[in-house]
Structure 1
Amino acid sequence: MPLVVVGISVVVLLLLMTRMKLNGFAALLLVAVGVALVQGIPAVEIPDVLSAGIGDQIGDTMLTIGLGAMVGRIMGDSGAAQRIAGRLLDAFGPRGVQLAMVVTSMLIGVTMFYEVAFIIIVPIAFTLVRVTGVNLLWVGLPMSISLSTMHSFLPPHPGPTAVAATFHASVGHTLFYGLFIAVPAGALVALLWPRLPFVRAMNPSIPQGLVSDREFTDEEMPGMGWSLFVALFPVALIAGAAVVDMAASGESPFLHGIAFVGSAPIALLLALLLAAWAFGPRIGRSLADVSASCASAARAMAMILLVIGAGGAFKNVLVEGGISDYIKDVTEHWPVSPLILAWLIAAILRIALGSATVAVVTASGVVLPLLAGSGAHPEMMVLAVSCGSIAFSHVNDPGFWLFKEYFNLSVIQAIKVRTGYTTVLAVLGLGGVLAAEWTLDVTGL
C-alpha cells in the first residue's frame, strides 16, 4: 500500500538522522532511492528522477535563497539590519517584539512566497535576537508562522491562485474572505506557539555565517531611510507585479516588463546591486568588503541548499511513484461534505508528498465534479483546499528543511515545532472556512 511505504520511509529517514547521525543530504537521497525501488520505478530511471527533483527544487529556491542571503548579510555587516531592528524595538518595545514580527511578516507575506519573505526578514529577526538576548524561536516562530499562513491560505500565491482558476472562483473575493480567516488564525498561533512549554525548552543558536556578530554604534549604522528602502525594495517590486497581474490582463511589453522585474530572482538581484552600492561605496565600505559579505553568506548557505535539494528529490520520487494517483482514486467517492473532503484530500496529499502545490492541484481535481451540485461557494472551496495543503509539514517538505536549518534545530525538534504549528493552522483554517460558508448561506451573500 503506497501510504504504508510513505510512513515507513519517514520512519527510516528519522532513524538515519537521529540514531545513526547521518547527514541530512545523504539520508534523504538514500531513502529516496529505496522508495523508488519499492514503488517500481525502473532502476535505470532513478538517477533521472532524483536529478529532476533536485533540479526543480533548487531551480525554484537557489536563486531566491542565495541572493536573499547575500542581501541580508550585506545589511547585517553594514549595520542596516541592526538599524531596522532597533527601530522596531523603539516602536513596539522589547515586550512587543513578537507582535512586531507578526505585523511585519503578514504585511510582507501577503504577496511574497514563504521562502522569499523568510530570507528577507530573517536577518532582522536574527539581529533582534542578538540585541535583546531572547530565545531565537521567541522571535523567529511568529515570523515563520505568519508567513506560512499568508503563503498557504491566500492568493496571489501559486497554490490558491491555481485552485481559484480550477473552481472558477473570484481571486479578489477569495483574498477578501481569506484575510478574515488567515489573519486571526495566523496571529493566534504565532503568538501562542512560542509560549508552549516544549517550545520554550528549546534554545537554538543562530547558525554561523548568516548574520554579523558585530554590534554597531549609532554613528556607524546607515540611516533608517536607506536601511528600510533597501529592505523593502524587493518587496515593492514583487508585490507591485502581483497587484498588476491581478488587475490587468492581456499581452503587452509593459506587462511583460513588470512581470520580469517583479519575479523573485530578478527583484532580489536588483536588491543585491542596490545593497552593494548603498551599504558599500556610498558609506565608505569597499566593494571588496561587500564581496566578502556575499562570500560568507554563500558558504553558510551551501549545506542548506543541498538538504533542500535532496528534499526535492524525495518529493519527486513520491510523485513519480504514483502515490498522488492512488490517493485520488481512493478518496474521490467518499461521502463527505465537499469542503471537508477538499481539505482532507489536500491534507493527505501533503502528508504523503510534501508538496503543497501538488496537494492543492490534485485535491481540486478530485472535488471539482462535486462543486456544481453541492451549493458550496467556489471561494470557500479554494480556501478549504488551501488550508488543507499547509497541514503536517514534515521531512518530505523542502520548506521543512529550510525552517530546520535556519533555526538550527534537530529533526525531532523541527517536527515538534513546524509539523505541529502547520497542522494547527490547517485545522483552524478549516473551522474558519466552515464558519464563513455558514455565514454566507445565512446572509444570502
Structure 2
Amino acid sequence: MPILITFIAVLALLGLIIGLKWHPFIALVLVAIGAGLALGMGPEGTMTAVGNGVGGTLGGLAIILGLGAVLGGVVAETGAAKVITDKLVAGREGMSILWGLCLVGFLIGIPLFYTVAFVMMAPIIISAAEKAKLPLAMVAVATVVSLSVTHGFLPPHPAPMLISNTYGADIGKVLMYGLILGVPSVILAGPLLARTMRNMPHTKGALTFKETDLPDKLPSFGAAVFCALLPVLLLAAGTLVQGLVGGAEEVEVGSEAIRQGFFTDLVQSGLLTDATIALLIGVLVAMFVLGGQSGTPVAKLMGRVGKQLAPMAAVLLIIAAGGAFKQVLVDSGTSDYIVQVLEGFNANPILIAWMIAAALRVTLGSATVAAITAAGIALPLAQSGAASPELLVLATGAGSLTLSHVNDTGFWLFKEYFGLTVPQTLRSWTMMETVVSLVGLFGCLGLSYVV
C-alpha cells in the first residue's frame, strides 16, 4: 500500500507540473500534504513532517546556496569568467576548440549555478561554432557537458549539497569523489561524444544576446582561476589534511600524552571541510582580489549581492517543498518500506539509489526535484551502512541526470538557444545527459570496491 500511494503521489506530481503546468513549489507542497494524509499520518503529523522537512532541508543549505550565487556573480561581473574563456579558447581552431571550451565550462561551472553558467556560455558557444565551422550542437555538447557534471556531482551545487545533507555524507569526500568521476564523465560525454555529431546540420542560435557590462580593466588569468576554484581547493585541502591527521587527539611522548594543540582541534572540529566557511572565504577573497584587479570597489560588489541572491528564492522554495515531501516519506516509514522491498532484489545499494533517481528524472523532468525526492526514498540505504554515503550521493546525482527529454526545462533551453529540432536535441542533449549518468553509475560501482 505505501508503494502504491507513493506511486500515485509521483504521478500526481507529474500531472501537476507537466500536464497542468503548475509551479513545482505549489505542486510539491500539495502532493506532500496529500501523501501524508493518504499514508495515515493525520493532519497534525503531516504538517509537522512538512514543517520539519522544510526547516531541516534548508538549514545551512540556504547560506551555502546564497554564498554560491554571490561568488558566481562576482566571477561573472568582474570579468573573471571572460578572462578564463578567452585564455583557454584563444588560438584554438577546428576540433581542438572543443577541448578548450570543455575546460572553460568545467572551470566556470564550479562556481556558477547551471542556468547562469549556461546563459553566460551560450554566446561563446555560438561564436566558437561559427569560427570553427562546426555544427552548433557538436560544440554545445562539448561545452555544456561540464556544466551538467558540476551541477549533478559537485558541491556547492544544490542537488549534491542537499543529497549530502540528507545522507549525512562528508562534503569534502563527495567533492573529491565527484572530481574523480567528473573528469571521465566530461571527456566521454563531451568532446568524444561530440565527435560523433560531426555530420549534424549546421544551425544558428535562435536568440540574440547582449554582452554583460564588464569593467574596462579585467583581472589576470591566474587570479580569475584561483578565485573561481578557491572553495573547491579549500574543501579538498581540508579533507586531505583530515585524512593525514587521522583524527588523532594525542601523541605519546615518553610516558606522557600531550595534546597536539590548536591544529588538531581545528582539524577535528570539521571547520576545514565546512562548505559554508569555504564559500564565505571564497566570496571575500574574490571580492577583494578580483575587485581590486578590475578596479571595482568592494562596496560596489557588495551592493550587487541582493541582485545576485534574488534568483535563488525560487530555487530555495522548490528545494524546501521537496524536503517537505521527503520528510513525509521518511516519517511515515514509506522510504524504509520501499527500500526493504528493493533490497529483496539483492541489487547493489548504489544501483538502487541510481534507479530511483533515474525513474523520477524521467517522469518529473527536473533533476533537482528528482534528486530531492530520491534522497528521501533512498535515505535508509545510507543509514544502513551498506554503501558509502558519499558514493550514494553521487549515484543519486547521476541518476537524476539521465534521459532528459521533453518534460525537462533544460531540454528546451538547449533546443531553443542553439536552434535545434526536437530530434536533434534528443540526439545531442539527451544522449549527453544519459552518457554522463551512466559513467557516473559505473564509476560509483567501481569506486565502491576501493573506498
State the TM-score, normalizing by the size of structure 1. 0.67
Counterpart among 218, 225, 228 of residue 228 in structure 1: 225
Q: Is the counterpart of residue 214 in structure 1 residue 212 in structure 2? A: yes
Aligned to 1:70: 70
8 Å Cα contact 1:230-1:274 kept in structure 2: yes
Secondary structure of 2:212's aligned partner? coil
Alignment partners' CA distance in 1, 2:429 and 2:45? 33
- Offset at residue 148 of structure 1 (A): 3.2
State the TM-score, normalizing by the size of structure 2. 0.67
For 1:53, give the aligned amino acid.
G
Alignment partners' CA distance in 2, 1:282 and 1:107? 20
Q: Is the counterpart of residue 142 in structure 1 residue 146 in structure 2? A: yes
Secondary structure of 1:220's aligned partner? coil
Q: Is the counterpart of residue 265 in structure 1 residue 258 in structure 2? A: no
Per-residue CA deviations over 1:266-309 (Å, capped at 9, x if unaligned) read 11111211222223355432344212321110112211221122
**Structure 2: segments with no counterpart, 5+ residues:** 128-135, 250-260, 361-369, 417-421
Secondary structure of 2:62's aligned partner? helix
- Offset at residue 149 of structure 1 (A): 5.2
8 Å Cα contact 1:81-1:124 kept in structure 2: no
Say if 1:429 and 1:142 are closer, same or farther in 2 by CA, change over 3 A: closer
Per-residue CA deviations over 1:326-358 (Å, capped at 9, x if unaligned) read 123324444x4xxx4434433455457845666
Say if 1:390 and 1:290 are closer, same or farther in 2 by CA, change over 3 A: closer
Sequence identity percentage: 24
Say if 1:101 and 1:2 are closer, same or farther in 2 by CA, change over 3 A: farther
Aligned to 2:188: 188
Say if 1:319 and 1:201 are closer, same or farther in 2 by CA, change over 3 A: farther
8 Å Cα contact 1:346-1:388 kept in structure 2: yes
Aligned to 1:301: 312
Alignment partners' CA distance in 1, 2:429 and 2:124? 25
For 2:341, give the aligned amino acid.
V
Alignment partners' CA distance in 1, 2:306 and 2:415? 21
Aligned to 2:400: 393
The aligned runs of 1:17-96 (5 Å cut-off) are 17-90=17-90
Secondary structure of 1:280's aligned partner? helix
Alignment partners' CA distance in 2, 1:90 and 1:255? 46
Q: Is the counterpart of residue 277 in structure 1 residue 288 in structure 2? A: yes
**Structure 1: segments with no counterpart, 5+ residues:** 109-115, 165-170, 369-377, 441-445
Alignment partners' CA distance in 2, 1:387 and 1:289? 38
8 Å Cα contact 2:84-2:224 kept in structure 1: yes
Q: Is the counterpart of residue 245 in structure 1 residue 242 in structure 2? A: yes
Per-residue CA deviations over 1:7-66 (Å, capped at 9, x if unaligned) read 222222222223333222111111111111111122112222112222222224322221
Per-residue CA deviations over 1:47-101 (Å, capped at 9, x if unaligned) read 2211222222222432222111111112222212211121122276585565446
Alignment partners' CA distance in 2, 1:124 and 1:428? 23
8 Å Cα contact 2:73-2:308 kept in structure 1: yes
- Offset at residue 150 of structure 1 (A): 6.6
Aligned to 1:128: 121
Aligned to 1:254: 263
8 Å Cα contact 2:113-2:151 kept in structure 1: no
For 2:112, give the aligned amino acid.
I
Secondary structure of 2:110's aligned partner? helix
Alignment partners' CA distance in 1, 2:412 and 2:266? 35
Alignment partners' CA distance in 1, 2:329 and 2:412? 23
Alignment partners' CA distance in 1, 2:298 and 2:440? 48
Per-residue CA deviations over 1:220-276 (Å, capped at 9, x if unaligned) read 212223222221222221110111122222245314435424411111111211222
Alignment partners' CA distance in 2, 1:33 and 1:24? 14
For 2:290, give the aligned amino acid.
F
Say if 1:238 and 1:105 are closer, same or farther in 2 by CA, change over 3 A: farther
Alignment partners' CA distance in 2, 1:130 and 1:53? 39
Alignment partners' CA distance in 2, 1:408 and 1:285? 36
8 Å Cα contact 1:71-1:272 kept in structure 2: yes
- Offset at residue 366 of structure 1 (A): 6.5
Alignment partners' CA distance in 2, 1:39 and 1:189? 41
- Offset at residue 143 of structure 1 (A): 2.5
More helix by share: 1
Q: Is the counterpart of residue 314 in structure 1 residue 321 in structure 2? A: no
8 Å Cα contact 2:145-2:189 kept in structure 1: no
8 Å Cα contact 2:145-2:190 kept in structure 1: yes
Alignment partners' CA distance in 2, 1:204 and 1:118? 27
Alignment partners' CA distance in 1, 2:37 and 2:431? 31
CA RMSD of aligned residues (A): 5.0
Per-residue CA deviations over 1:96-150 (Å, capped at 9, x if unaligned) read 5654465577799xxxxxxx93637876654332334367964333322366357
Secondary structure of 1:279's aligned partner? helix
